[in-house]
Structure 1
Amino acid sequence: MAHHDRRGLPVSTRSDRAAEHYRAGIDLLLAAWPGAGEALNAAIAADPTFALAHAARARLHAMRSESAAARASITRAAECVAQTGTERERSHVAVLSLAIDGRSEPALARALAHLDSWPRDALILSLPLGAFGLLAFSGRPDHDQARVDLCERHAHAYEADDWWFGVSRGWAHTENGAVARGRALTEHGFSLRRENANGAHALSHALFEDGAGTEAEALIAGWLPGYDRAGILHGHIAWHAALAALERGDPEGALALHAEHVRPTVTAGLSLNVITDTVSLLWRLNAYGHAVPAGLWDEVRAYAAPYFTKAGFGFADAHMGLLAAATGDRAAAEARIDALTGLVEAGTLAAGEVVPAICRAALAFADGDDALCVRILEPVAGEVVRIGGSGAQREVIEDTLLVALMRAGETSKARALLDTRLHRRPSPRDARWRARITA
């Protein structure tokens, strides 16, 4: 009996149970829902030669930054697929192998070519998509548009009731500025599968970009209790609620969400999310004029110490620069800036000169030298998109520039930036700032 994945692609296993567990595992992986590892382990137990199950397990290990386990699993997948795999399965394993090895540029090229032949291979399509996907971290300034183009190129291959594709397509449109369309697509996809953390996450983004912060808070408050704390997006989705609380001027509410869900001691999230969420939330609190409780910066600095020690990953570098500046670790900040500058000069830093500029501007901001912060950050503001992540995540850099402009007395520039932001996304905080500098 031939077996297939959830979207009708053949899979090379003779075991009914292995195929069933594999389909369940991929569903859970694409939904960022707990249990994917167990399901994939069950598929492998039922058929130890099932290459795609080993490959998916490798992907899950890689998402958790479990590098050794990821390499072991993808090596086993390659061994198995060489014996029994189809052309599609061999290509599938090859793409994941490149991604797991950190060879992002060839992984992206190979993934795009693969999808031209097998667009319904959802696990491979997921790799270029998302805030932390291969496109987002490619250094391209047009990665938001590129994700939309990719989704639209392959939309014909997916049914209207495909919950994963609907959410992924919606998120791409939202991040690219088509918020109404993105929100509608996301809401439809999420309605098809509520046990879907990627759906709740994408809808939180859509509501943020739509200026619907209170709706985002209500969504998250109602949905998050049903998502196990072991879920990798639990803390990050709560971070979105904390942003909404800050938007409406409730720092105590934001800190309460941080304490319960976001801080390193309480979350099981990905290290990249834990560090960037905590750093950006605490930085925003400080920039907005709110006190950061004692010990919180030290806590995230201790957690972050083993991670991203080597410069070269622009999104992480920017946040590690903010962390060093906020905690007064000038030596760490300057060492990272020097390393990043060297990578820029060598032409090997994907996001380019904007990354060391963010780190230098953060130091100036923390030192209270707002004029210097503006001089550094203003010329590269249009390039911040190149560090990847989402609009909501990158906004911390724009906020830094805006606050520096206001504090430096650059009223006309601050007003112009606020007008642009309010046109793009209604924000009660920006409206308050606009009224303050106009009065």
Structure 2
Amino acid sequence: MAHHDRRGLPLSTRSDRAAERYRAGIDLLLAAWPGAAEALDAAIAADPDFALAHAARARLHAVRAESAAARTRITAAAACVAQRGTERERSHVAVLSLAIDGQSEAALARALAHAESWPRDALILSLPLGAFGLLAFSGRPDHDQARVDLCEHHAHAYAADDWWFGVSRGWAHTENGAVARGRRLTEHGFALRRENANGAHALSHALFEDGAGPEAEALIAGWLPGYDRSGILHGHIAWHAALSALERGDSEGALAIYAEHVRPAVTAGLSLNVITDTVSLLWRLGAYGHDVPAGLWDEVRTYAGPYFAKAGFGFADAHMGLLAAATGDHAAAQARIDALTDLVEAGTLAAGPVVPAICRAALAFADGDHAACARILEPVAAEVVRIGGSGAQREVVEDTLLVALMRTGETAKARALLDRRLHRRPSPRDARWRARLTA
């Protein structure tokens, strides 16, 4: 009996159980839902020579930053597919191998080429997509548009009831500014499978960008209890609720969510999410004029110590720069700035000069030199998109510039920036600030 994946592509396994467990594992992986590892391990146990099961397990290890285990698994996948595999499966393993090996540029090119031949290979098409995908971290200033173009190019290959593609396509449109369309697509995809953390996450983004913060908070409050705390997006989705509460001026509510779901001691999230979520929320609290309770910054600094010590990953570097500035670690901040500057001069930092500029501006802001912060950030504001992540995540940099302008008396510039933001996304916080500047 021939076996196929969920989207009709042939699978090189003769085991009914291996094929069934593989399909389940891919569903769970694409949904960021607990149980993917167990399902894929069962597929491998049922057929130890099933290359795609090894490859998917490697991808899951890579998502969790378990580099050694990921390399072991992708090596096993390569050995298996060389003995028993189709052209599509060999290409599939090759793409994942490049991604796991850290060859992001080559992995992106190979993934795009693979999708031309096999657009329904969802695991490979997922690699360029998302806030932490290969396009987002490519350093391209047009990565939001590139994701939309990629989804639209391959939309013909997916049925209207494909929950994964619907959510991925919706998120791409939301991040590219077509919020109404993105929200519709995301709501439809999420309705097809609610046990989908990527769906809840994408819809939270759509509601945030649509100025529907209370709806986002209600969605998360109702949905999150059904998502096990071991889920990698549990803390990050809660972060969205905290961000919305902070938009309303409810700092106590934001801190309560932070304490229960987001802080390092309580979340099982990916290290990149844990660091960027905690740093950006605490930084926003301080920048907005709220008190950050004693010990919270120290906890984040202790957690972040083992991670991202080496400069070169722009999204992480920007947040590590904020962390060093907020905790008064001038030596660490300056060391990162120097290392990033060297990479820029060597032409090897994908996101370019905007990354050390963010770190320098953060240091100036934390030192109370708001004029210097504004001078540094204004010329590079349009380049912040190059660090990747989502618009909601990157907004912390624009917030820093805006507060710096207000504190230095640059009222006209601050009003102009607020007008652009309010045109793009209704925000109760920005409306309050705009009214204060006009009074």
TM-score, normalised with respect to structure 2: 1.00
Q: Deviations over 1:344-399 (max 9, x none)?
A: 00000000000000000000000000000001000000000000000000000000
Cα distance in 2, alignment partners of residues 270 and 81 from structure 1: 30
Kindly report which structure 2 residues correspond to 1:127-146, keeping only aligned pairs within 5 A, or say none: 127-146=127-146
| Aligned position for 1:73 | 73
The AA in structure 2 aligned to 1:5 is D
Q: Does 1:168 align with 2:168?
A: yes
| Aligned position for 1:434 | 434
Q: Deviations over 1:16-62 (max 9, x none)?
A: 00000000000000000000000000000000000000000000000
| Aligned position for 2:397 | 397
Kindly report which structure 2 residues correspond to 1:378-393, keeping only aligned pairs within 5 A, or say none: 378-393=378-393
Cα distance in 1, alignment partners of residues 438 and 387 from structure 2: 33
| Aligned position for 1:271 | 271
Cα distance in 2, alignment partners of residues 124 and 394 from structure 1: 26
| Aligned position for 1:110 | 110
Task: Identify unmatched segments of 5+ residues in structure 2.
Answer: none
Cα distance in 2, alignment partners of residues 329 and 121 from structure 1: 46
Q: Deviations over 1:2-24 (max 9, x none)?
A: 10000000010010000000000
Q: Does 1:420 align with 2:420?
A: yes
The AA in structure 2 aligned to 1:275 is I
| Aligned position for 2:227 | 227
| Aligned position for 1:4 | 4
Q: Secondary structure of the residue that 2:130 maps to in structure 1?
A: coil
Q: CA deviation at 1:324?
A: 0.1
Cα distance in 2, alignment partners of residues 137 and 16 from structure 1: 38
| Aligned position for 1:292 | 292
| Aligned position for 1:158 | 158
* Structure 1 outlier segments of 4+, above 2 Å: none
The AA in structure 1 aligned to 2:7 is R
The AA in structure 1 aligned to 2:44 is I
The AA in structure 1 aligned to 2:24 is A
Q: Secondary structure of the residue that 2:60 maps to in structure 1?
A: helix
The AA in structure 1 aligned to 2:405 is L
Cα distance in 1, alignment partners of residues 84 and 45 from structure 2: 17
| Aligned position for 2:55 | 55
**How many percent identity over aligned positions?**
90
Q: CA deviation at 1:286?
A: 0.1
Q: Secondary structure of the residue that 2:294 maps to in structure 1?
A: coil
Q: Does 1:316 align with 2:316?
A: yes
Q: Does 1:332 align with 2:332?
A: yes
Question: What's the C-alpha RMSD, in Å, of the aligned pairs?
Answer: 0.3
| Aligned position for 2:367 | 367
Q: CA deviation at 1:87?
A: 0.4
Q: CA deviation at 1:425?
A: 0.1
The AA in structure 2 aligned to 1:253 is G
The AA in structure 2 aligned to 1:4 is H
Q: Secondary structure of the residue that 1:306 maps to in structure 2?
A: coil
Q: CA deviation at 1:259?
A: 0.3
Cα distance in 1, alignment partners of residues 363 and 121 from structure 2: 44
Cα distance in 1, alignment partners of residues 84 and 10 from structure 2: 12
Q: Deviations over 1:212-260 (max 9, x none)?
A: 0000000000000000000000000000000000000100000000000
Cα distance in 2, alignment partners of residues 75 and 135 from structure 1: 25
Cα distance in 1, alignment partners of residues 307 and 7 from structure 2: 37
Cα distance in 2, alignment partners of residues 330 and 158 from structure 1: 51
| Aligned position for 1:407 | 407
Q: CA deviation at 1:416?
A: 0.1
Cα distance in 1, alignment partners of residues 315 and 11 from structure 2: 36
Q: CA deviation at 1:300?
A: 0.5
Q: Deviations over 1:381-423 (max 9, x none)?
A: 0000000000000000000000000001000000000000000
Q: CA deviation at 1:69?
A: 0.3
Q: CA deviation at 1:193?
A: 0.2
Q: State the aligned residue count.
A: 439
Q: Does 1:64 align with 2:98?
A: no
| Aligned position for 1:210 | 210
Q: Secondary structure of the residue that 2:328 maps to in structure 1?
A: coil
| Aligned position for 2:188 | 188
Q: Deviations over 1:68-101 (max 9, x none)?
A: 0000000000000000010000000000000000
Q: Secondary structure of the residue that 1:172 maps to in structure 2?
A: helix
| Aligned position for 1:90 | 90
Q: Secondary structure of the residue that 2:311 maps to in structure 1?
A: coil
Cα distance in 2, alignment partners of residues 113 and 67 from structure 1: 25
Cα distance in 2, alignment partners of residues 170 and 40 from structure 1: 28
Q: Secondary structure of the residue that 1:393 maps to in structure 2?
A: helix
The AA in structure 2 aligned to 1:129 is L
| Aligned position for 1:356 | 356
Cα distance in 2, alignment partners of residues 12 and 301 from structure 1: 47
Cα distance in 2, alignment partners of residues 133 and 225 from structure 1: 27
Q: Secondary structure of the residue that 1:49 maps to in structure 2?
A: coil
